[in-house]
Amino acid sequence: MIRFWAIVSLLTFHADAFVIPHHTPRVLQTSVAQSSTEAVIVPKQGGRGVATASQDAARRNLSLGAPPVRPMGGEYTSQGGVQITATVEPLPYATTTTTTTTTTTTTTTNVNDEINSMTVMEELMDQLDEKKGVLLMSSYEFPGRYARWSLGFVDPPLEISGRGADCHIRSLNERGDVLMPAVQEALQQMKRDGLLSAIEVVEEAPLNGSGKAIAKTIQAKVVPPPEVGSFSEEDRSRQPSLFSIVRALVDLFAYKGDCRQLGFYGAFGYDLTFQFEPIDLKQQRDDDQRDLVLYLPDKIVVVDQDKRDSWTVSYDFSVNGKSTRGLPRTTEAIPFAPFDETKTPNFTPRDTPVSEFAASVEKAKREFAVGNLFEAVLSQTFREKLGAETPPSKLFRRLRARNPAPYGFLINLGEQEYLVGASPEMFVRCEATEDNDYRPGAIRVETCPISGTVARGADALEDAQRVKSLMMNAKEESELTMCTDVDRNDKSRICEPGSVQVIGRRQIEMYSRLIHTVDHVEGYLRPEFDALDAFLCHTWAVTVTGAPKTWAIQFVEDNERSPRHWYGGAVGMVGFDGGLNTGLTLRTVRVKNGVAEVRAGATLLYDSNPVAEELETELKASAMIDAIVQDGPEDSAEAAAQAKVAKLDRQRPGQGKSVILVDHEDSFVHTLGNYLRQTGATVRTLRSGASALSTMESLIAKGQKPDMVVLSPGPGNPSDFGLSNTIEFLVKHRIPAFGVCLGLQGMVEHFGGSLGVLGYPMHGKPSPVSLTYPGKEARSIFTGLPDTFEVARYHSLHGIRERLPSCLEVTALSDDGIVMGIKHKTLPFAAVQFHPESILTSPAHGMAILQNALAYLRYSDEDTPKRSGAEIVAAFEGMDVSRLQQRCSAAGISQTGSKSELVVRMTLFTHKSEELAAGRLQLENLTEEELIELKQGLGLRESASGKDGLVRLLKNCLNFEV
């Protein structure tokens, strides 16, 4: 019985497929194979799933990294006994500024000359060129993950820096001096606890040259950590290190209150990982390298773009009866120093010669083969010189405009070192939550491993195709799987059992040039651990090191060509409220002594392609390098205005032309009209029928004959709309025509061809089409398009290729041989059997087709009047040799010889091109000797054999518009 009904079902399907509408007597039947994806069965029912990260974040009122609502301020006593006064002042929220750039500085003022959030932020960027401080700017949103916010400061009173076991805490002004006794006491307690081996207080030069105060630095040395294996791995983050000092100082200033912006801000270098993992160092480090630079600010500007609110919060501190109240907040200003050849004589543009990175990938593959590594992340550095006209603030402005990211930052580290970045990846974020399954106030730790990368497309359609390829790529999926498994392992060391969860899997994040797949992982810390433990147990992320992590870190050290410095580390803040928010130091420009360094890496697996991985690092670095070397409208308001004018001034092929769009009751006719208007043409849409023809007749009588008529798609058959009458009218009045879908079918029938019905209707289906030889000719409607591209199909009827009349040529075909484009051999008529205005056809391709139709579909006697030879010669005589050579090169003709020879050559080219376009030159009627003589006169570089080859060569040349 089952077999019987299966046979009946098959017969029913085939019977339906071959029903021919009663009103299509001239239509024959053909079939198109159904896409294999149509066979995929997706169940309509399934599990309930879980709340999305976005829903969960809203339910638990998570901050998504943004500052909480504007605080009230107040008086607080820290855990270490420091008295803290927070004063909050509202700042008018604004989103627009007017920017003026000079050769050395950039000043920004609001259009109303008011102080507001944007003017303050812009001024802060300029100040960071010469003053220590931090600007963090999150300009990327993702539901449940990232919100948009900005926070920054300059003139911090206190600085913490360190390398290896040596740490320096330095007061940067008189306000910092007030804090030093409390800092010193905290460090003395560490020494008593056996964590520090030495403490020394050093007085330095007078601050700001004033002679009023002496800057103080406390130098501390951390004791060596105990031998590996002598302590529990769960307690590794509690072993003596620079972070022991950071933790002690966080505890000193820790307090409970609604003002949660106070904390340490700055950068964490890659080499900090060596404090926890015994690695054999191979790279030579610079003597002045620092692994940690953190600032304690005392005045912070906060902008919450989500809530459209902004404020400043100022802090005063009291220690042992002394207060910072009334003391100046300024610190020493040291201007940015551009590149100096005398100080850097051995400048090299990259640390890894071309192809050597690929060789290192091969070495990694051998490690994968024997099981020493599962994955590894190798990187290389690219360098550019910076002049005085390109300070770090300008780089940041460019990155902010060109590469919005959740972790944008501009940090002046002092000592002529800056970090300018647009990182896409969270490192570790911690936040205390009341609503959780463990205990009130438990700290939630989250990370977002990124692995899986593809370049952005030209538009949303191409993006979609690339996302599809990325999601289907098994190698990219394996990369992210391993990263997330290692990340879960890192959290499991210190998190509550069962709390480590993947709350987002292979989610798509799009940036200016790249598309990534991203996982989102959370856990809840056990009571005995804090945010710094969470930070340290992830140091460093597997996405910048590899797995197994220790072996991968050693492999990186052995095979990269230079130290990583800050790359692969982190930037952000350690809050005194117990929270933490850090981003990985990726997509970052490190500026040191006027040299801009960009480091980029690739995640390697056994099935990595060495050349492709090297290219990936170059692609990742490209956005940063672009910000270094390429000026842009974001540099100044004047440049932005000029760019806008240039865009408006671009010549459009429809400019000054009128188009009648004949509507055949189609669902997309007005989108088609919108596209036509974008060419610059004036478009009038008329519903098809006798009235439309009468309206056009009236326009012609008034001397307003349209430059083109576009025949729209539509349901039914061409005969339902009397399309043959419309086409006859257009031929009679010598009006060029372009047809879409039904318009193509109408042309086929009118000129004597036959239509067929597809076995499977193509309604809203993507399909690749390929150009035929006529479709690739110069002045085709497909000029400038690739030989094969994807289009949107909405049709059942089609022109049968074998029954096309001789006057029509096929210009495009689907992959199964269906006619997708035609043109008339002698009339300016062309058509396509797909929708150029659909989202499934790239807008760039769709617009190009319509622009070409308006540019090239015309009667020959409507071309520009013939110019005299003297006029052509005069035009070229006015050009210099360089420009003449450029014109010759663009036309594909010889650019050698004297100026007079170039003028003669371009004059001949122009004259013959105009003759050919006007129909006055028939190359086919010339003898082979005459064709050779013309080729030699033009100085064509390409070769051709036989008369047919010479005709094609000359046509392609002379049809080129220079």
- What residues are annotated to the active site? 741, 835, 837
**Which residues in 122-143 are b (16+ Cβ under 10 Å) and which e?**
bbbbbbbbbbbbbbbbbbbebe
Tokens (6 digits) for 900: 């007079």
Alpha helices by DSSP H, listed for 370-504, are: 392-402, 460-471, 474-492
Cβ 30 vs Cβ 756: under 8 Å: yes
Sign for the pseudo-dihedral over CA of 341, 343, 346, 347: negative
The string of DSSP codes covering 225-286 is: PPPTTSS-GGGGGGSSSHHHHHHHHHHHH---SS----EEEEEE-GGGGGGTS-----SPPP
Contacts of 14 (CB under 8 A, 6+ apart): none
Task: Return phi, psi of residue 324, to 5°.
Answer: -85, -10
CB contact at 8 A, 525 and 500: no
The Cα angle at residue 121 between residues 119 and 126, in degrees rounded to 5: 95
Q: What angle do CA 368, 369, 371 make, to 5 degrees?
A: 60
Helix (H) or strand (E) holding 669, with range, is helix 669-678
Distance between CA atoms of residues 317 and 325, nearest Å: 7
Strand partners, 599: 381
Q: How far is CA 882 from the centre of its chain?
A: 37
Q: Strand pairing partners for 547? A: 375
Cβ within 8 Å of residue 943, ≥6 positions away: none
Length of the chain: 962
Report the distance separating Cα 510 and Cα 156, nearest Å.
35
Angstrom distance (rounded) from CA 179 to CA 769: 72
The whole-angstrom separation of Cα 365 and Cα 396 is 37
Q: How deeply is 675 buried, as exposed, middle or buried, from its count of CB atoms within 10 A (0-12, 13-18, 19+)?
A: buried
Cα separation, 271 vs 289, whole angstroms: 10
The 8-class DSSP code of residue 224 comes to: P
